[in-house]
Amino acid sequence: MLVVAADLDLTVVLRTITGRAVDLVDARFGAMGVLDASRTGLAEFVTVGLEPEETAAIGRLPSGKGILGLLIREPRPVRLRDLGEHPERSGFPPAHPHMRSFLGVPVSVGDEVYGNLYLCDKRDAEEFTEEDEDVVAALALAAGLAIDKARLYARLRQLTLTEERERIARDLHGHVIQRLFAVGLSLQGAARLEGLPGAGIRLHEAIDELDDTIGQIRSTVFAMQVPPQRQGSGVRGDVLAAVDGATGGLSGLETTVDLDGPLDELGPQLIDTLLLSVREAVAAAVRRPGVHRIDVELSATETTVELRVLDDAPGAEALIDAVPGLEALTERAKLHGGSCELRPRLGGGSELLWRVRVRSAG
């Protein structure tokens, strides 16, 4: 039960449930069928025991007919010595391996049936036993709790992303619009100075300010995007992608990234929080006027994760108390038992230190 409930990714949870069920009753094959919206068929079908080439040869996954459909219509345990002898049987596709003994148990989330666990071919006996049925039924209870937890996490993550977008939108309005308004006033003043020595200087200053503002808009828009799904490149690759996206490919900006420690061993929730914080911290550094270099240092140990983002923006001391996004970074760190601090660097520029705790599996 602890292993099943340990992950927050729904896809991983479903596969873990199926794999544990196969192990518990010593079955050759196992599957988890997730009901569709109409509750008359299967929307997902997670399998254990089939080789990838076997799955490819079978083709389209079951939709919920035959014995599988019986559990959908009548959600209660079904235990059969021989699938071929049941009147509801519908046969197997040509490339499907032959299966004989069968055990099916519904999985409920709260008062609602979420799907069914299907187990076939007990290895050491002709059929599954009543004890097997009791064990899988107990696992189904734990599975329901784990699925509910994973779905709740997915909803909370979407809510967090929505709140982040709203906060970034306020930041965009509160800082960028003010800067554009100030540039407009400066250009109006330059127009009145046309032909005088100070007009050219004021125009160049306005152009520089517009360039900085465009960079801020680009980094802010990037921060409003949903974090990309990880594709197996590892946390290190995801961090590099987050830094590259936050800098927006700005010309004249030098960026270095130093990664150290077991980053790939962090839990999925902490990894999501970390990537969001890396992107937010780097985007905030990019927005500081006059920045030419940003250094990102990320390290992990068995107990802590530490992120440092350093920049060389001049006059950062005056901006420390008004950095957009600092409050969100601080709150996010506190959720993981950590802290966030932004301080001026000796010789100019600023340093952001974001540190959180790593929760052990115990």
Superfamily of domain covering 231-362: Histidine kinase-like ATPase, C-terminal domain (3.30.565.10)
How crowded is residue 127: how many other Cβ atoms within 10 Å of its Cβ? 14
Q: Locate all alpha helices (DSSP H) within 195-346, ordered by sequence.
A: 197-223, 234-247, 268-287, 326-335
* Strands 293-300 and 304-311, bridge-based pairing: antiparallel
Please give the residue that has the higher pLDDT: either 111 or 315. Answer: 111
Name the residue type at position 158: Q
pLDDT in tens, 286-335: 888 888 899 999 999 989 999 999 998 886 554 444 455 677 788 888 88
- Write down the number of H helices and E strands in the chain: 9, 10
pLDDT in tens, 52-85: 778 777 877 777 777 888 888 889 999 999 988 8
Q: In which element (H, E) is residue 259 found?
A: strand 254-260
Q: Of 254, 234, 243, 265, nearest to 313 (Cα)?
A: 254
pLDDT per residue over 32-60, tens digit each? 999 888 888 888 888 999 887 787 778 77
Residues of the chain with CATH 3.30.565.10: 231-362
Check: CB of residue 128 under 8 Å from CB of residue 118: no
Residues of the chain with CATH 3.30.450.40: 4-153
65: its two tokens: 């007919």
Task: Report the amino acid identity of residue 189.
Answer: G
Dihedral of the CA atoms 233, 235, 239, 245 (nearest 10)? 40
- CATH node for 4-153: 3.30.450.40
